[in-house]
Amino acid sequence: MKLIKSILSLTTIKAIDYLVPLLIIPYSINVLGVGVYGKVAFFQTIAIFLGIIIDFGFNVVGLQRLSIRTREKNKKRYITASIIIKIMLGIVCIPLFYMLSIVSPIYSQAQMYVIHFSCLIMLSSIFNNQWIYQAEHRYRFIMFTSLFSRVFCFILILLFVRNDNDVFNYALLIMVMFALPAIIQTVDLSKSIEPLKISMRYLKIVFLTNINIFYYRVVSASILPIYNYSFGGLLSPAEFGVFSFLQRILGAVVNFSTPINQALIPYLAKAKKEPASYFILLKKCTVYLLLYSLVVMLCAFFGTWLIIDMKLIDGGITLEKVLLPACIYLTIIPHIMNGFLSQTLTLHNRSYDVRKIVIFIAVLSLSFCYITFQLEIKYMLLSYVSSCFIMFFLLLNKILKK
């Protein structure tokens, strides 16, 4: 029951975080047009990726570390250290974000404000620390802050984004939707946690503790943004808008499923004390998760077809235009499974194997991307899907060998 309760709580949080913004997309495309939406989404994608770098794996490692600390002083020290590290990474990412944005093929001086607002989305990840509240089982607080921010901004978008001249309002309100939970959390934490003096030695220890999971998250998360950046050079803003729309659905489905992994790993960690029953349980979890990922992938295809067929979304999007880019839905299976398999290998003290596989896939993907960039868009999509599945089979092979 505790496992089910944990999954339901985390799934509800993810649903609020991703499904409410997903509801904004059809309205945004209908009002702004798919081309304008595509331009805004392009810079937001860069910001969200760099936000993963700033997070530095604290939503995984920090959650585990904070859960096992019992002394309040140790908790405060760890939280303070995490925020200091994230601030330093944020400072590093600011020039990187502007460089990637300005040299991109979609850059326009007239819409520089979109880039500024997207940068603030990136920086909001410094103070958006849901993992602290998850470790304390304060799920209701996270649900409240997330639901309030999403619904509040959704209402404002309906009121102040009425045509394609309201791009400034749209970009501003999307930024507020990301920043508001971070502001609320920061105010709440400032009341209960006093910043402590942290030594450089302790910062280094925390930094090195996160480095392996950071490698996995950044390298694996960088594959799609790299392809996105390349797509920006091959596609028109309208075509990129279609791709971005499908990508947001993909992201919502995958992130909606992450609470299952987050709940299964602690469950497996406890069962690991009895090796015989543990490996039977591990096989069951792997098979069930694979079946689940297959079902949600089919639901994504069917749901997209239904949205377009019922004309819930317009803005120039037709079934013919989504047929090819919808191939990215095939990666739902490896995205869900790779997270589970990599964390399981880490549980087996084989994080080095995970790092080797991730680096290999990153090099392979970059090679595929460079080669297929010279060809048609369909070959680039095929190379991206292939990279995800190759990683899945390599991780699965390591688990089976164990």
Task: Please state the rounded mean pLDDT for residues 91-107.
Answer: 89
Q: Do residues 252 and 22 lie in contact, with contact meaning Cβ atoms separated by under 8 Å? A: yes
Task: Please state the rounded mean pLDDT for residues 128-156.
Answer: 83
**Residue from 213, 217, 211, 245 nearest 45 by CA:** 245
Terminal Cα distance for the chain, rounded: 29
* Residue 1 pLDDT: 52
Residue with tokens 């920061």: 186
pLDDT range class, residue 231, cuts 50, 70, 90: confident
**How many secondary structure helices (H) and strands (E) does the chain include?**
15, 0
- Mean of the per-residue pLDDT values of the chain: 81
pLDDT above 60 (res 51): yes
pLDDT above 60 (res 2): no
* Residue 64 pLDDT: 67
* Residue 115 pLDDT: 93
Task: Output the pTM of the full model.
Answer: 0.75
pLDDT above 90 (res 172): yes
Q: Which of 31-35, 110-114, 392-396 has the lowest mean pLDDT?
A: 31-35
Distance, in Å, from the CA atom of 121 to the CA atom of 182, rounded to the nearest integer, reads: 10
Distance, in Å, from the CA atom of 373 to the CA atom of 85, rounded to the nearest integer, reads: 36
Better-scored residue on pLDDT, 116 or 278: 116
Distance, in Å, from the CA atom of 156 to the CA atom of 150, rounded to the nearest integer, reads: 10
Task: Please state the rounded mean pLDDT for residues 168-172.
Answer: 92
Distance, in Å, from the CA atom of 332 to the CA atom of 328, rounded to the nearest integer, reads: 8
* Residue 263 pLDDT: 67
How would you write 104-171 as a 3-class SS string? CCCCCHHHHHHHHHHHHHHHHCCCCCHHHHHHCCCHHHHHHHHHHHHHHHHHHHHHHCCCCCCHHHHH
Distance, in Å, from the CA atom of 391 to the CA atom of 395, rounded to the nearest integer, reads: 6
Residues 6+ apart with CB under 8 A from 380: 227, 230, 231, 234, 368, 369, 372, 373
Better-scored residue on pLDDT, 213 or 290: 290
* Residue 16 pLDDT: 67
Percent of the chain residues past pLDDT 70, beyond the cut? 85
* Residue 118 pLDDT: 93
